[in-house]
Chains A and B, each alone.
Chain A
Amino acid sequence: MTVDESVRAPANEPTVAGSHKPTYAVENSGDPLATLMRARQLIHDAQAAIEEASKSVVQQRAASAEIPERELRLAKAENEREELSTRLAEVEHQVGRLMTLYVATYQLHATLDPADVLSTIAEIVVNLLGAEQFALLLRDEDEKALEIRLQEGDIDAPWSRAPHYTGGDPLIDASLIDGMLRFGPSESSPVLVTVPLRVQDVTVGALVITKLFEHKGKLDEEDRDLLDLLGAHAASALFASRVYSRAARKLRTLEGLIKLVRKG
């Protein structure tokens, strides 16, 4: 076979990115064998180019087939991210609640001055529970009556105008008897909540809330933790401070006496 003319690539030959371009021109060297070899080489190169182009087309098709799967994975990842973000918000909220409880406990036991303990109880009830009207009833030293140790706001109840609580409100009375926290109000009681104050399993008083700030609305499940905390810690903090201040007073008296004796 003699190939003695130039073989050229057609003008509309497609260009495939990345494929090596074969040389289609076959020089007429006059040596038919050499020309044949060159022609074979050209055919080989052309076949390689076609194979490469086919591969590229297959890859492109595969990539387009993967798109729905990728979208699916992206949507799943997005869902997981949202779920994590919700859980993180919940954890953050719980952390906030625990911080509130920690600070309330810390502050209740941070002082041994009875007046400071009372003021801390009031701060907790106003700032952390959102109470506008409340009273703290505590059994007095001879344990005969419940002294109204703290009162905030103008409580619309007959007992609020006396220095002592002598009974009459069914909700408060029931809490003082059985030591259980009770929510109101009811027809016979304006009290929103009464929290029995306990020291070593003995009810020694009650925190009575009769009105919340308008923006607070109502007491919720989260407030319950704080109410329980007050029930357990407020009275013991008050008693500890009272005992300490009594002991400190006695100590000062004794020191004064000793000084007098030494002078005499």
Chain B
Amino acid sequence: MNVVKTRKVLVVEDSRLIHKMYEVMLRPCLLIAAHDGREGLARLAENPDVDVIILDINMPHMTGLEFLGQVKTNAALASIPVIIVSTEGKEEDVARGLQAGAVAYLKKPFQREDLLKIIGRLEGKQVSP
């Protein structure tokens, strides 16, 4: 069984349904919700101690990749692992996300156990881009 020990997770996602899904799936974690990249950066400024960021790609105002670019160029935030969870599932989309600095790329619809596995590996520091 995957036991998620991670305490603080920033979820940058525009779907309320998926926010609710994370809330149920990652119940032991403290989730910080943002509904687009811009709000994600604001939440991150308030909570620079987040353990993981779960990021969607297609969002209004600021896309996931733009958000990721901003995070990775900020020395104070660059080390926070980012997991992309998106409906964009083509090979070039995955490659683009990983090149931008994400540690993992999960395609929607996803299985809960796959997300927990990725987070579990992150806790063991075994996930690499």
What is the interface of chain A, defined by CB distance below 8 A to chain B? 88-89, 92-93, 95-96, 99-100, 102-104, 106-107, 120, 123-124, 126-130, 213-216
Residue of A with least CB distance to B89: A215
A92 in contact with B20 given A126-B87, A213-B89 (CB within 8 Å): no
Is A127 a contact partner of B25 (Cβ separation < 8 A)? no
Chain A's nearest CB lies how many Å from the CB of B71?
A: 23
Query: How many of chain B's residues have a CB under 8 angstroms from any CB in A?
Result: 19
Q: Report the Cα distance A124→B18, complex, angstroms.
A: 9
Is A99 a contact partner of B89 (Cβ separation < 8 A)? no
Chain A's nearest CB lies how many Å from the CB of B3?
A: 11
Cβ contacts under 8 Å, B24 to chain A: 99, 102-103
What is the interface of chain B, defined by CB distance below 8 A to chain A? 1-2, 15-18, 20-21, 24-25, 87, 89-90, 107-109, 111-113
Chain B's nearest CB lies how many Å from the CB of A3?
A: 76
Chain B's nearest CB lies how many Å from the CB of A215?
A: 3
Cβ contacts under 8 Å, B20 to chain A: 103, 106-107
Chain B's nearest CB lies how many Å from the CB of A192?
A: 15
Is A99 a contact partner of B2 (Cβ separation < 8 A)? no
Is A127 a contact partner of B112 (Cβ separation < 8 A)? no
Is B2 a contact partner of A127 (Cβ separation < 8 A)? no
Cβ contacts under 8 Å, B25 to chain A: 96, 99
Cβ contacts under 8 Å, A99 to chain B: 21, 24-25, 112
A88 in contact with B109 given A123-B16, A127-B15 (CB within 8 Å): no
Cβ contacts under 8 Å, A102 to chain B: 24
